[in-house]
Chains A and B, each alone.
Chain A
């Protein structure tokens, strides 16, 4: 029982050290930034004094999940990409950007611009054989992940979608990028990775 007691003490010590989870600073960001805008943003971030360092552990799960849903009424593809917030921030830092500290009190003022630029550099869509531009539509806090929202407008029908997804593959060799498509009730999945960055899905056939 002594052993168990020591273990329990260790647990509480470690738990106390990690402190409370970060509280989301704001809801979905309303800013709409065209992704195509040149993404040269040299940002001297206002460095806050005390910054909680995200806990790192050997326990890692390198996955993003994107949902692509056709909104027939607005002739639009709504795309939500859920990426682990710490990985997303790390990737932006690795590209020379600032640390965004998303969903904290010290979130970077220009966070939407950096996130949209990152998505633009990692995601590409061809709808019915035509390259389409992504429009950034904000982001939402999803606990450990961030749901990044992008749209493709003027999509009146969907026969094929060719997609290229390079999210985080520059960071992690085992990154998996799952994409779920839902077009007029028809659901399809592709699972992309460093080995296979592109996928094609067909609908209404």
Chain B
């Protein structure tokens, strides 16, 4: 097995690991506000999120920034909760525009990236090049995220198109559920 394959798999397994569901819940919350015909916006949002976490993953693994794990693990559910609240708060997009959403997804990505990097940094050490591990881990994360988006879109297709549920109801249901999960994480109930 090559170094690239090893870290690609670690990244993919990490984002799709049901034990590490905070990232999954965040991706779902990002998608929830968008009806199926606005899939382009979802792709842009997820890309913004990826750019954000790639930046901090690199910075933190290279030891250019250091944020305590405990703080990052508190901030991650905050990003989920904030995303959910903005999903259900109708005037958000009208007032701030779509660019704000992409900017926030990027900013939240920065926080999630710190979460990935604290773990990777602890395990990698400094004695060898970390370019390949970092890059392949990130690509693995990205592939995992795309898989989550695809599964969510398939479920949304059934709910919205086949069952004919209004999108607003679906958004409220998903965002409410995700907000509940983030609240549990925030107060430390696992």
- A residues within 8 Å of B by Cβ? 3-4, 7, 10-11, 14-15, 18, 20-21, 55-65, 67, 80, 82, 84, 142-145, 147, 172, 174, 176, 178, 180, 187-191
Contacts and interface: CB of A to CB of B under 8 A. Distances in A.
Contacts of B188: 55-57
A65 B123 CA distance: 6
A61 B122 CA distance: 11
A15 B111 CA distance: 14
Nearest to A11: B78
Given A55-B73, A60-B17, A172-B19, 4 more contacts: A61-B14, A62-B17, A82-B123, A180-B3
Contacts of B14: 61
The 9 closest A-B pairs by CB, nearest first: A18-B70, A145-B122, A61-B119, A144-B122, A14-B74, A57-B73, A65-B123, A143-B122, A82-B123
B188 to A, nearest CB: 8
Contacts of B76: 57, 59
B39 interface: no
A57 B123 contact: no
A186 to B, nearest CB: 13
B109 interface: no
Nearest to A140: B125
Interface residues of B, number: 42
B62 interface: no
Contact of B19 (A7, A58, A142, A176): A58
B68 interface: yes
A191 B74 CA distance: 30
Contact of A63 (B10, B21, B22): B10
B71 A61 contact: no
Contact of B115 (A3, A59, A147): A59
Nearest to A146: B122
Contact of B70 (A21, A84, A178, A180): A21
Nearest to B185: A58
Interface in B105-164: 115-116, 118-119, 121-125, 127
A7 B122 contact: no
B81 A7 contact: yes
Given A11-B78, A18-B68, A189-B1, A142 B13 contact: no
A192 to B, nearest CB: 10
Contacts of B115: 59
B117 to A, nearest CB: 11
Contacts of A84: 119, 122-123
Contact of A59 (B6, B22, B123, B124): B22
A15 B2 CA distance: 39
Nearest to B23: A59
B6 A178 contact: yes
Contacts of B186: 10, 14
Contacts of B123: 63-65, 82, 84, 142, 145
A186 B125 CA distance: 19
A144 to B, nearest CB: 4
B70 A10 contact: no
